[in-house]
Structure 1
Amino acid sequence: MPEKAGDVIEQGLRMLAQGQAAAAGGHFRQILRRDGSHAGALHGMACVVRACGRDDLAIGLAGRAIEIEGASHYYVTLAQALMARGHVVQARAAVNVAILKSPRDPVARAAQARIAEESHDFTTAETAYAQAIACGGVDAWRPRADMARFLWRRNRRADALSWMRKAFCLAPEGDRQLFHELVEMLLGCGHLPEARASLEAWLQHLPDDAMAAGNLGAVLFAQREFAAALPWLRQCVQVLPHADVWNNLGLTFMALGDVARARRALEQAHDLRRDDGRIAANLATVLAEQGEDAPAAALCRAVMADKHADAQTRAQARFNLGTLMLGQGRMAEGWALWEARHALLPADTTHYPVLPRCTRAMLADGAGTTGDRIVVHAMQGMGDTIQFLRYVPMLARRRRVVLVLPPALHRLAASLRDRTGASVARRMEIIAPNDEYPRGVVARCDLFSLPYLLGLDALPRPMGAYVGPVAMPRAMGGIRVGLCWAGNAQYRFDRLRSVGAQRMAMLAGVRDVTFVSLQQGAGGADLPFPMEVPSLGDVMDTAWVIATLDLVICVDTMVAHLAGAMGRPVWLLNRHGGDWRWSAALGGGDGDASSRPHGSCWYPHLRQFRPAHALPPPHAWDGVIEQVRDALHDWRAARRDVRGCLD
């Protein structure tokens, strides 16, 4: 060991910087045993006890060092210890002395900034951080990183990210802490492509960095590259089995359609952090997908009752519980809980004039005037919109309606009819989302709030055709069947609901059937086998094609709702578990809700085919398409017999 005190102190401070407080303390004690009044060793011990959480002892040790020598960095240590003990005025005084002694010392300026920030003097803090940068010079990365962290804490994210980028470029190569802070800021600012590129480059040199692997997995998940995310998340969880990593892994398995593995991962996350409402809500979703409604509902209710959970998390649990209640046919309770989705959706664009949200009281009999207009926004997908258009005629009987829809739905919505078959067009105006409201509007609401606002508490009653062409003459020729085998890939459960085109190919063996593609954008090599490919423009174009068909076979997507709303026969290829609206309680039977569990109370001519078990794709559909093929053989034979009798 070096004999000179200065060398021993320098070595001790290096060890302290590396987190070796006990070893560093041994170096300083060695000097103090020879000279109990050595200022540098006393200051070193002050730093050691600070690292051990004893700021009270640090104050005394730093004070003794100052009495002997009075170096500026001794005052910095004293100021930090005083601030940690809540002595704000004394801490400010000590750091000011340090700056008077060394006005160009970036460490003293940084300490001044931290003390000012902790005192909520943010203007002084920012000035001091800037002075620390100026004193540190063009190559100093630490004060730039400090400025970035300060601005991040102040929620000035773009400025913080700019400073952290500069700090990382100047820092020694391979600084893990700074790199992960940079990635955190990139993710917080939504710069996913830059975060991904940084993580991929980092992992090429440090492939064992588990935190980087977990972050890359999270980025790939956010970019919906679920298969690519999986190995990185698995690598991370082996080294860092934290609740957040297990949660991300569970969501990835869920997106890939592997419900069993998703459940195991989310149970691990929940066991590690039982007070995390986000994880509990995710686990509830998986349990509901496996048909375990009771434990799923218990989890949701626990999150809703948790006062420590944030509002967004409680809203998610309330929404999840709402879907469970609706799936059980408890409509009044379900519609009310389902209203929590408003807190989960992005803020909608308001137009002139700013409108209050519609309430039940506004729609009560005798409330308002019949000339008042209610603006109704469609906030979900097009299939859901078509399904809920059935409620617009009920509203139109009470108030005039301004229906806000994407242009692709305008022509279809203009054909909307009530239960009697009468057009609703005279009581309704259709506009696009970016159009201004017409005059006379008094309130606005979400299309999916109509059952709640109208006070509906019974199961939906099957309706006849309420949108689309009124009638389409059919020639007595061959049987025409429309096929749609995939939904929108952006939907989080799309891997569960979509059927691979190659699996649909076994339907080609059904003779005397002309198949027509209803798959948007599919053609040529995308088709499972040769079939008609009509031109599909807006939704009304698709409706005209469906009007020429005898049967539609499709997965749970817009085509199912469109054919059902047109009163056409639909065979729904529904995933195991499935969406709440296709549950057994809503099966459409008379009397007992389970008397027709494979139908639908929404659409009278819908029949469901679904896997018996929750297997991951593509195996989930093993046997289902064979059932559809055999049923199609029987259905074709029955249709042929009927047509033969008519001839």
Structure 2
Amino acid sequence: MPQKAGDVIEQGLRLLAQGQAQAAGGHFRAILRRDAGHAGALHGMACVVRACGRDDLAIGLAGRAIEIEGAAHYYVTLAQALMARGHVVQARAAVNVALLKAPRDLAARAVQARIAEESHDFTTAETALAQAIACGGVDAWRPRADMARFLWRRNRRPDALSWMRKAFALAPAEDRLLFHELVEMLLGCGEVGEARVSLEAWLRHLPDDAMAAGNLGAVLFTQRDYAAALPWLRRCVEAMPNADAWNNLGLTFMALGDVARARRALGQACDLRPGDGRIAANLATVLAEQGEDAPAAALCRAVMEDARTDAQTRAQARFNLGTLLLGQGRMAEGWEAWEARHALLPPDTTHYPVLPRCTRAMLADDRGTTGERIVVQAMQGMGDTIQFLRYVPMLARRRRVVLVLPPALHRLAGSLRDRTGASVARRMEIIAPNDEYPRGVVARCDLFSLPYLLGLEGLPQSVGAYLGPVGMPRATGGLRVGLCWSGNERYRFDRLRSIGAERMAMLAGVEGVTFVSLQHGAGDADLPFPMETPSMGDVMDTAWVIATLDLVICVDTMVAHLAGAMGRPVWLLNRHGGDWRWSAALDGGEASPWGRQGSCWYPRLRQFRPTQAAPPPHAWDGVMEQVRAALHQWAAARRGVVRS
């Protein structure tokens, strides 16, 4: 027995809703072969051709259906097709007819809202959506989702998220599209924790959703839970390879210290989206970490020159190029390119008037006797701040300085000295970030801009001990060695630079050496072996402890810069590739007592580096054997000096 036309049309519309336009078209054509004037089938074909991108054909088909029957939903389809072709006036007229015929038709209200929004009549659009919600009742999720999307486009994000939460709670349990819209809004509103919980619950029921797996991996990466992010991102690229997932996987490998896999993943991302400057900049970072400066620089320059790339990404590429140039000893070019970091920093949030940025022209003459003050802000980590404080005395010879530092650095910065050993205190004031500026301030600059603003072009020159206590007697009774084995875990390369207490334990048992922990916050249970654990409050307290030591052995963190700035002997355990400031071009040459692998920043610093890139912690095995042997030799030599 042949099916009724109404049943066939219903089946066709169901297939169309599932994305099967070709199969749906077969149902409608079967009816039209029997009855070329069947309005429902003509309307169904209008919907099919719309789904195939042929709104021009849909207008004619919907028009024929209306001529025969004139149902309200036929006018809705006609309005959608007219709007898609840019016929706004005709689309508005069609949807108005639909609403006259069926005032409570939710689809008609949704189209009315869309037409009003496209016409920039946002009040009418929101009213139409509110009417659709009212007509739909307490269980209608589609109009609530439409309201959420509208508000999101209007940048009313909290309101949009509220409506999307309601829509998702009412929608069918496995509506993937709506779920991913909800996650996008959660992340856009900074609700990362809720997004993570939602994704984890979703994937327990639908583990094959590759997009959800990729999003969960990205969320876990944002939360710095790199080990947990890895399997989800792998699942995503296996099931649904895409540039974003490969990029996130590469960054995750990088954060875990697996540089080789990071390079392969980012290479895949670049192949899938070769014009994406953000991915190219990430790949350049990995190449630089592997010591491949030339291809890294070429990638950075290509991103900088690509007009399609957004300004933020171009600034990131220029900043990355600056670090490469500085690592090559091309200081003048490097300092200038490094200034691109200003575009990457958050905007000023002071409650005082924002000062003009200091320029080279302001410092071109030596008017050191004037009362003009320059505000100098430290915008990076404590170790970097300690390193660049060496340039403040140079500025203080030209202008009075207002140094803005976190309180933990105030006492240490108060000990700042110039290359002659004279205090800089009378030419400098130190305030906290939220303190009021003193009178006479005329401009501001970043502490790390001083080499550029002062026009410094050559390699950094040793300035001797420029920070810390002066003339403090060292402890007696044997050799004292300070140890620091890990840095701030929030730093994205921390797993590359930190060693771990178990590897540092290889240094235990050196005859005649008392070890002292310089690891901030480490309790007895965190130590690699029993050692002194002095109380340390602010950074000056740490400096007093370092002043009692004969040697400091540490990874690339604040302790290395502090000991170096105090003129104390430092053995730096530097990762392969390493930060630009410890590159071979800046190793100090003959100025360092260690010769090669020293540092022009700190003449008494010696570097120990892995010979090749390897994932942590095994990258440090050979290095720690070298350090242990060197420490035994050093201790034996020092004991010999004491005995003689």
Same fold (TM over 0.5): yes
Whole-Å Cα distance in 1 between the matches of residues 186 and 369 of structure 2?
52
Aligned: 1:432 with 2:424: no
Q: TM-score of the superposition, structure 2-length normalised?
A: 0.98
Quote the residue 1:492 is aligned against.
Answer: 492
Is the Cα contact below 8 Å between 1:586 and 1:597 reproduced in 2? no
1:594-634: CA deviations, max 9, x gaps? Answer: x9430000001000001111000010001111111111111
Is the Cα contact below 8 Å between 1:277 and 1:303 reproduced in 2? yes
Is the Cα contact below 8 Å between 2:366 and 2:398 reproduced in 1? no
Quote the residue 1:607 is aligned against.
Answer: 606
Quote the residue 1:239 is aligned against.
Answer: 239
DSSP 3-state at the match of 1:198: helix
Is the Cα contact below 8 Å between 1:2 and 1:8 reproduced in 2? no
Quote the residue 1:479 is aligned against.
Answer: 479
Offset of 1:476 from its aligned partner?
Answer: 4.8
1:133-186: CA deviations, max 9, x gaps? Answer: 111111000111111111112222111111110000000111111111111111
Quote the residue 1:206 is aligned against.
Answer: 206
Whole-Å Cα distance in 2 between the matches of residues 170 and 335 of structure 1?
56
CA distance 1:635–1:8, change in 2 (3 Å): same
Whole-Å Cα distance in 1 between the matches of residues 356 and 304 of structure 2?
26
- Partner amino acid for 1:622? D
Offset of 1:30 from its aligned partner?
Answer: 2.0
Whole-Å Cα distance in 2 between the matches of residues 26 and 464 of structure 1?
85
Quote the residue 1:538 is aligned against.
Answer: 538
Whole-Å Cα distance in 1 between the matches of residues 297 and 127 of structure 2?
52
Quote the residue 2:272 is aligned against.
Answer: 272
- Partner amino acid for 1:308? R
Is the Cα contact below 8 Å between 2:321 and 2:337 reproduced in 1? yes
Q: Report which stretch shifted further, 147-156 or 620-629.
A: 147-156
Offset of 1:524 from its aligned partner?
Answer: 1.1
Quote the residue 2:596 is aligned against.
Answer: 597
Offset of 1:359 from its aligned partner?
Answer: 0.7
Whole-Å Cα distance in 2 between the matches of residues 212 and 84 of structure 1?
31
Whole-Å Cα distance in 2 between the matches of residues 49 and 349 of structure 1?
53
Offset of 1:292 from its aligned partner?
Answer: 0.2
Quote the residue 2:304 is aligned against.
Answer: 304
1:214-236: CA deviations, max 9, x gaps? Answer: 11111111110111111111111
Aligned: 1:139 with 2:139: yes
Is the Cα contact below 8 Å between 1:374 and 1:400 reproduced in 2? yes
1:296-351: CA deviations, max 9, x gaps? Answer: 00000000001010111001000000000000000010001101111111113224
- Partner amino acid for 2:389? L
1:351-379: CA deviations, max 9, x gaps? Answer: 42331111111111057972100001100
Offset of 1:455 from its aligned partner?
Answer: 0.7
Whole-Å Cα distance in 2 between the matches of residues 290 and 597 of structure 1?
20
Whole-Å Cα distance in 1 between the matches of residues 24 and 351 of structure 2?
66
Quote the residue 1:106 is aligned against.
Answer: 106
Is the Cα contact below 8 Å between 2:151 and 2:157 reproduced in 1? yes
Is the Cα contact below 8 Å between 1:351 and 1:436 reproduced in 2? no
Quote the residue 1:458 is aligned against.
Answer: 458
Offset of 1:129 from its aligned partner?
Answer: 1.5
DSSP 3-state at the match of 1:37: coil
Q: Report which stretch shifted further, 543-552 or 351-360.
A: 351-360
Whole-Å Cα distance in 1 between the matches of residues 475 and 182 of structure 2?
66
Whole-Å Cα distance in 1 between the matches of residues 160 and 42 of structure 2?
37
- Partner amino acid for 2:511? R
Whole-Å Cα distance in 1 between the matches of residues 97 and 6 of structure 2?
24
Offset of 1:644 from its aligned partner?
Answer: 2.5
Offset of 1:209 from its aligned partner?
Answer: 1.5
Quote the residue 1:33 is aligned against.
Answer: 33
Offset of 1:590 from its aligned partner?
Answer: 4.1
Quote the residue 1:354 is aligned against.
Answer: 354
DSSP 3-state at the match of 1:241: coil
Is the Cα contact below 8 Å between 2:383 and 2:562 reproduced in 1? yes
1:562-612: CA deviations, max 9, x gaps? Answer: 000000000000000000000000011149x9x943000000100000111
Quote the residue 1:626 is aligned against.
Answer: 625
CA distance 1:269–1:533, change in 2 (3 Å): same
Whole-Å Cα distance in 2 between the matches of residues 484 and 475 of structure 1?
20
Whole-Å Cα distance in 2 between the matches of residues 84 and 111 of structure 1?
11
1:437-473: CA deviations, max 9, x gaps? Answer: 1111001111001101111111000121101001222
Offset of 1:475 from its aligned partner?
Answer: 4.8
Q: Write out the 4+ residue segments of structure 1 that deviate beyond 6 Å after TM superposition.
A: none
Quote the residue 1:510 is aligned against.
Answer: 510
Structure 2 runs not aligned, ≥5 long = none
1:279-304: CA deviations, max 9, x gaps? Answer: 00000000000000000000000000
Is the Cα contact below 8 Å between 2:348 and 2:354 reproduced in 1? no
Offset of 1:397 from its aligned partner?
Answer: 0.4
Whole-Å Cα distance in 1 between the matches of residues 278 and 551 of structure 2?
42
Whole-Å Cα distance in 2 between the matches of residues 54 and 211 of structure 1?
29
Whole-Å Cα distance in 2 between the matches of residues 367 and 158 of structure 1?
53
Quote the residue 2:148 is aligned against.
Answer: 148
Quote the residue 1:637 is aligned against.
Answer: 636
Quote the residue 2:340 is aligned against.
Answer: 340
Superposed CA RMSD in Å reads 1.5
- Partner amino acid for 2:407? P
Aligned: 1:54 with 2:67: no
Whole-Å Cα distance in 1 between the matches of residues 368 and 529 of structure 2?
57
CA distance 1:475–1:81, change in 2 (3 Å): closer
Whole-Å Cα distance in 2 between the matches of residues 8 and 579 of structure 1?
68
Whole-Å Cα distance in 1 between the matches of residues 576 and 621 of structure 2?
12
Whole-Å Cα distance in 2 between the matches of residues 351 and 372 of structure 1?
21
DSSP 3-state at the match of 2:480: strand
Offset of 1:242 from its aligned partner?
Answer: 0.5
Q: Report which stretch shifted further, 510-519 or 177-186.
A: 177-186
CA distance 1:368–1:460, change in 2 (3 Å): closer
CA distance 1:22–1:628, change in 2 (3 Å): same
Q: Report which stretch shifted further, 497-506 or 206-215.
A: 206-215
Is the Cα contact below 8 Å between 2:368 and 2:398 reproduced in 1? no
Q: TM-score of the superposition, structure 1-length normalised?
A: 0.98
DSSP 3-state at the match of 1:57: helix
- Partner amino acid for 2:213? A
Offset of 1:123 from its aligned partner?
Answer: 2.2
Quote the residue 1:172 is aligned against.
Answer: 172
Is the Cα contact below 8 Å between 1:149 and 1:160 reproduced in 2? yes
Quote the residue 2:552 is aligned against.
Answer: 552
- Partner amino acid for 1:382? M
Whole-Å Cα distance in 2 between the matches of residues 458 and 572 of structure 1?
24
Offset of 1:38 from its aligned partner?
Answer: 1.6
Name the count of aligned residue pairs: 644
DSSP 3-state at the match of 1:465: coil
Offset of 1:251 from its aligned partner?
Answer: 0.3
Is the Cα contact below 8 Å between 1:351 and 1:437 reproduced in 2? no
Aligned: 1:76 with 2:58: no
Whole-Å Cα distance in 2 between the matches of residues 443 and 502 of structure 1?
49
DSSP 3-state at the match of 1:430: strand
The 5 Å alignment of 1:249-288 reads: 249-288=249-288
Quote the residue 2:65 is aligned against.
Answer: 65
Whole-Å Cα distance in 2 between the matches of residues 119 and 590 of structure 1?
72
Is the Cα contact below 8 Å between 1:59 and 1:82 reproduced in 2? yes
